[in-house]
Amino acid sequence: MASPDQVPATATTDPASTGLADNQGSAAPPPAHHVIRRTRLGGAWVAVALFAVVLLLLLVFILENGQQVNIGYFGAHGHLPLGVALLLAAVLAILLVVIPGAGRMMQLRRTARRHRKADVAATQAAVPPASPAPDSTGSDSPAPAAVTGPPPDGLTRT
């Protein structure tokens, strides 16, 4: 059975409107289905649900690995449950990836900002401000803007 969002918006049973009244075999195309687009809030809801499942699995992991283990790190010693120790090691490993990645993203954003500023400065310098010059027709309309070539840095814009 079709769900309500898959039912055509203009479903009729009139044979004249479906193209079957003349029996010539040329039927009109079926009406388009209503498509619901994905939203950010729907994506966030799915992400929250997945995170809840992952946290539940982590909780089960920690509770099943409750044996005490000895931890030693640069002369510091302590006792932790095995599940907590492994989870702590995984979080520290993730930080080893996230911190350099965040630094690289900031570096790329700074470079992109610098290129955008240079592009704006180059286009403003290449196109002088249009001064209203009298044309032969005598109208007060401004002169058309000059068309410039490719950007000076060789990049193409879309």
Give the span between the Cα atoms of 84 and 90, in whole angstroms. 10
Q: Give the model's pLDDT for residue 30.
A: 76
Contacts of 20 (CB under 8 A, 6+ apart): 27
Residue 13 scores a pLDDT above 90: no
pLDDT tens, 66-108? 899 998 889 889 998 988 888 888 999 999 999 999 999 999 9
Q: How far is CA 128 from CA 121, 133, 134, 147, in A?
A: 12, 14, 17, 11
Query: Per mean pLDDT, which range of 32-41, 55-64, 65-74 is the poorest?
Result: 32-41
Q: How confident is the model at residue 143 (pLDDT cuts 50, 70, 90)?
A: low
| CA atoms lying within 13 Å on the CB side of residue 14 | 5
Q: How confident is the model at residue 111 (pLDDT cuts 50, 70, 90)?
A: very high
Q: Give the model's pLDDT for residue 34.
A: 78
Residue 14 scores a pLDDT above 70: no
Q: Are 68 and 79 in contact (CB under 8 A)?
A: yes
Helices (H), ranges, the chain: 15-18, 40-64, 82-126
Give the span between the Cα atoms of 105 and 94, in whole angstroms. 16
Dihedral-angle region of residue 155 (phi above 0 means left; psi in -120 to 50 means alpha; beta otherwise): beta
Q: How confident is the model at residue 28 (pLDDT cuts 50, 70, 90)?
A: confident
pTM above threshold 0.85: no
Residues 155, 156, 157, 158: is their CA dihedral positive or negative?
negative
Q: How confident is the model at residue 25 (pLDDT cuts 50, 70, 90)?
A: low
